[in-house]
Structure 1
Amino acid sequence: MNGLVPAEGTPLLIGGKLIPGGSGVFATINPATEEVLGYAADASAADMAAAIAAARTAFDETEWSRDPALRARCLRQLRDVLGEHLEDLRAITIAEAGAPLMLTSGPQLEGPIADLSYAADLAENYTWETDLGTRDLMGVASHRVIRREAVGVVGAITPWNFPHQINLAKLGPALAAGNTVVLKPAPDTPWCAAVLGPLIAEHTDFPAGVINIVTSSDHGLGAQLVQDPRVDMITFTGSTRTGRSVLVDASATLKRTFLELGGKSAAIVLDDADIAAAAAYTAFTVAVHAGQGCALTTRLLVPRESYDAAVTAAAGTLRGLAAGDPAQAGTVCGPLISERQRARVERYLEIARDEGGRIEVGGGRPADRERGFFIEPTLISGLDNTATVAQEEIFGPVLVVIAHDGDDDAIRLANASPYGLSGSVWGTDPDRIERVVAGVRTGTLSVNGGLWYHADAPFGGYKQSGIGREMGVAGFEEYLETKLIATPA
């Protein structure tokens, strides 16, 4: 497809070497056209075992974990070489992930690359030791120091929806902290991860085995990575259902586990807000990248007396956001990632109809798209918060409008969910806004359109939306152990 992808397909990166997959190759598909883009190495169980062994050796036998200056230099080299191939990476991201062109200037590509600078800076500037001073215990005076050290070998399992953002949000902090990594990306977007391999091997000073990239069509390799006792930590982003399986598998060796899982986030509109503006904004965001974002607000909670006005505003916005070619500059809603995902969304739309929901806009495949896994941006009204589409994560461009009866009821409805990943609040009274912010149990909250995404901002959820935080200092410290050292004073 371009200079980053060899004609025979992308290779694995194991132990510093670019190698073919033990199970041959598998195809990667353009979700906007349903055409085969090319091929990626299909790793075998033996390949995964070799990658884990390489990461273990690199952690145990090199100075990587004890040399923050080297780590910072390598991360900046990776940032720079990715920047040099930005347009090739942009083309791959649009074609393989179906990401709209507009998003590649932000969280789909350029943002995550720039965020490597933050990880490099942390490696150089983090306080690795803290002096606790001297204390006496039973007549013995001891001087104590707290030291932060790398966890060890990290297994990173990532999804397909924001591949660069999630891959680099795991690689950057984990490597900056001194860990070695085995990256297992989703089978739907292997190229977005695999193209890093040659750039790392040929243009950076990462020691062999510090980063290993294992693409595979076999989901069982992810379980193998989690279960292997040589792996000290798992960082996983994906569905809550799969996250439960990861947690069970990790429990056998009691390895540290970070989970960033699903969401069914609520946009709460108070009665003193600009109802139309809040509804329109929320509708716009749910159409972005065909709704394939775990932190998108997919429940719109509006005052009962303003329900019809909110529906009208949201419907008007969604009508103007037709699903289209992600390579076109004006496209907001591209395709879903696969036929499987489109069928999932269609099933939820049928459930909504069966439960008495009204499809105000959308509700099916766009008439002008004969190929591609497209679904029209869809607005559902007439349901309450107990409806299936109000409780379960759909992962498509689908917004449900729900009436509330005041601030307390809005908080109750927002919290009446197994998830707690994100959300938003719209209003004008600062005291009322603060009360809602304090009352909603969720990991991130936007107030009147404020943007929370940045490298220095921790991201994660409450309840079944996950365990731990990614990004920011809190995310960096997920990859660290704490050691207390006491010596005679």
Structure 2
Amino acid sequence: MSETPTIAATNGSDPVREPAHEKADRRMLIDGKLVDAARTFATVNPATGEVLGHAPDASIADAEAAVAAARRAFDHSGWATDVALRIRCLEQFHRALVANRDDLAALTTAEVGATAALNLGAQLDQPIAIVEYYLNLLRDYPFTEDLGNIESRGMQHHRWVEKEAGGVVAAIIAYNYPNQLALAKLAPALAAGCTVVLKAAPDTPLITLALGELIAEHTDIPAGVVNVLSGADPQVGAVLTTDPDVDMVTFTGSTPTGRAIMAAASSTLKRVFLELGGKSAAIVLDDADFGTAAVFSAFSMVTHAGQGCALTSRLLVPRKHHDEIVELVKANFGHVRYGDPTDPGTYMGPLISEKQRDKVDGMVQRAVQAGATLVTGGEKKGPGYFYTPTLLTDVDPDSEIAQEEVFGPVLAVIAYDDDDDAVRIANNSIYGLSGAVFGSEQRALGIARRIRTGTFSINGGNYFSPDSPFGGYKQSGIGREMGVAGLEEFLESKTFAVPVAG
């Protein structure tokens, strides 16, 4: 690997660079100013395949300027120590998000392909709630912990621990849930007192830039505390992971890119928080309600066209009930309404790009060639980048389709013999992000505790909320996002001691 590795944060399309005279639809935020770049690149509406707009194509110099601004702001603005200022600014940001919610929803639908239902949840309304959660947490969070006295060298010594901001944070996000990913990093980092350089995903830059514009126009956040970049040049990401003025890198995206970021950050021993890929399993026990399990498995797998790291893309079923459960899932796939995400009745929108759709289709075709059976789906639809809900059976647990993240609406069914076999198959993965189990509650809970993942759903339980830590084991990442744990990712602990007189 070179000293400045190529780092991208998307599995989607290759952005199309435009001439320097093409005006960007949104501007970057650097050192408190909304700025353009010398060049732009196009972003595409995935539901139509047509150019939606143009974003600034940040240069290496832009990235360096953003880092320098964040460094100055951390060292000299007082942001890191003024809790009251941070609360006020987060309140202003939250109000701006709420006031502009409908415009943000329209842009999210156009650029990301998000449906109205998704905007009511993890694409927009829940991310807005994350900002409110952290500003409220900040009001009462104990930044100081008293450890009491100890006796040493014949004297009493009083000790305490103070939590302080971790420093300058580089935040690099993926394309699939840009509001969620940006705000789940921005809100706790700002609450902690950090300064941030946020890099948008090349496939969905406009919505992230819109967040920066709201900060610049509607908050008292000091210049340089938040900087927002967009760019098609992967070297911009490389600057953020290697610059010695960056103290911490937080990244959401693919595991291979996460490995590259971790290696790049190691030269300066930066802290890293990585939220990476998953190949989660849903286990249906023989005493489960098969109908409920089938509905959950089918409709969760096609949420946002399967473009979610925590989706349960492997369905583990008892061998003796295999055919019955497969027929139920197939029937539910048949009820999925996909198409125009602006239609309130649409459940599943498009994949992000033609490149991503071709990747998904290639994995399905290779799975069939390797012996899997295509029960339903496996078709490209247009205009736009749609792929039909796809169900595969006779899947080898060690095959590519069972081991690698597809990031599309593809569910692989694997038969198991008994509970131990199901646990073995579920844990047979480099990933450990999430999982699900259906069955009698105590038995299901026992299974859940044996699976090596960071989150788990029992009988359809929903764990995703601003106050719930989210993250994975193994190669699904390092650290936790959201909840109190999400704030503490951005804090350092400093221990103090003073001798006690008398």
Asked if structure 2 preserves the Cα contact closer than 8 Å seen for 1:59 and 1:153, the reply is: yes
- Partner in structure 2 of residue 179 of structure 1: 194
How much has 1:111 moved relative to structure 2? 1.0
Q: Does 1:152 align with 2:167?
A: yes
Which is further off, 131-140 or 148-157? 131-140
Equivalent residue for 2:215, pick from 191, 197, 200: 200
Asked if structure 1 preserves the Cα contact closer than 8 Å seen for 2:445 and 2:458, the reply is: no
Alignment of 1:65-464 (within 5 A): 65-366=80-381, 369=382, 371-428=383-440, 430-464=441-475
- Partner in structure 1 of residue 32 of structure 2: 16
C-alpha separation in 1, matches of 2:295 and 2:142: 45
User: What is the TM-score normalised by the length of structure 2?
Assistant: 0.94
Which is further off, 140-149 or 244-253? 140-149
1:257-314, CA deviations, whole angstroms, 9 ceiling, x for partnerless residues? 0000000000011100012320221011101110000000000001000000111011
Structure 2 unaligned segments of length 5 or more: list them. Answer: 1-21
Three-state SS of the structure 1 residue aligned to 2:138 is helix
Distance 1:390-1:8 versus aligned 2 partners, 3 A rule: closer
Asked if structure 1 preserves the Cα contact closer than 8 Å seen for 2:319 and 2:417, the reply is: yes
1:145-176, CA deviations, whole angstroms, 9 ceiling, x for partnerless residues? 10000000000000000000010000000000
1:391-412, CA deviations, whole angstroms, 9 ceiling, x for partnerless residues? 1000000001111111111111
Which is further off, 237-246 or 192-201? 192-201
The one-letter amino acid of 1:245's match is: A
Q: How many residues align?
A: 479
Which is further off, 153-162 or 219-228? 219-228
Asked if structure 1 preserves the Cα contact closer than 8 Å seen for 2:46 and 2:112, the reply is: yes
C-alpha separation in 1, matches of 2:338 and 2:376: 12
The one-letter amino acid of 1:481's match is: E
Which is further off, 76-85 or 173-182? 76-85
The one-letter amino acid of 2:27's match is: P
C-alpha separation in 1, matches of 2:198 and 2:288: 44
C-alpha separation in 2, matches of 1:122 and 1:233: 22
Asked if structure 1 preserves the Cα contact closer than 8 Å seen for 2:24 and 2:56, the reply is: no
Three-state SS of the structure 1 residue aligned to 2:277 is coil
C-alpha separation in 2, matches of 1:359 and 1:323: 19
Three-state SS of the structure 1 residue aligned to 2:467 is coil
How much has 1:334 moved relative to structure 2? 0.8
User: What is the TM-score normalised by the length of structure 1?
Assistant: 0.96
The one-letter amino acid of 2:446's match is: R
Asked if structure 2 preserves the Cα contact closer than 8 Å seen for 1:26 and 1:41, the reply is: yes
How much has 1:123 moved relative to structure 2? 1.8
Q: Does 1:466 align with 2:477?
A: yes
Asked if structure 1 preserves the Cα contact closer than 8 Å seen for 2:337 and 2:345, the reply is: no
Asked if structure 1 preserves the Cα contact closer than 8 Å seen for 2:203 and 2:352, the reply is: yes
The one-letter amino acid of 1:398's match is: V
Asked if structure 2 preserves the Cα contact closer than 8 Å seen for 1:277 and 1:313, the reply is: no
C-alpha separation in 2, matches of 1:447 and 1:190: 36
How much has 1:7 moved relative to structure 2? 7.0
Asked if structure 2 preserves the Cα contact closer than 8 Å seen for 1:322 and 1:377, the reply is: no
Equivalent residue for 1:479, pick from 486, 490, 499: 490
The one-letter amino acid of 2:477's match is: G
Asked if structure 1 preserves the Cα contact closer than 8 Å seen for 2:46 and 2:353, the reply is: yes
Structure 1 segments of 4+ aligned residues over 2 angstroms from their partners = none
Asked if structure 1 preserves the Cα contact closer than 8 Å seen for 2:23 and 2:40, the reply is: no
Three-state SS of the structure 2 residue aligned to 1:27 is strand
- Partner in structure 1 of residue 19 of structure 2: none
C-alpha separation in 2, matches of 1:202 and 1:97: 24
C-alpha separation in 2, matches of 1:198 and 1:250: 29
Q: Give the alignment's Cα RMSD to 1 decimal.
A: 1.1
C-alpha separation in 2, matches of 1:113 and 1:322: 27
Three-state SS of the structure 1 residue aligned to 2:313 is strand
C-alpha separation in 2, matches of 1:96 and 1:202: 22
Three-state SS of the structure 2 residue aligned to 1:235 is strand
C-alpha separation in 1, matches of 2:243 and 2:412: 42
How much has 1:252 moved relative to structure 2? 0.3
- Partner in structure 2 of residue 3 of structure 1: none
Structure 1 unaligned segments of length 5 or more: list them. Answer: 1-5
How much has 1:121 moved relative to structure 2? 1.4
1:2-33, CA deviations, whole angstroms, 9 ceiling, x for partnerless residues? xxxx97421110000011113x1111100010
C-alpha separation in 2, matches of 1:60 and 1:205: 18
Asked if structure 2 preserves the Cα contact closer than 8 Å seen for 1:266 and 1:301, the reply is: yes
The one-letter amino acid of 2:472's match is: G
The one-letter amino acid of 1:18's match is: L
C-alpha separation in 2, matches of 1:383 and 1:239: 23
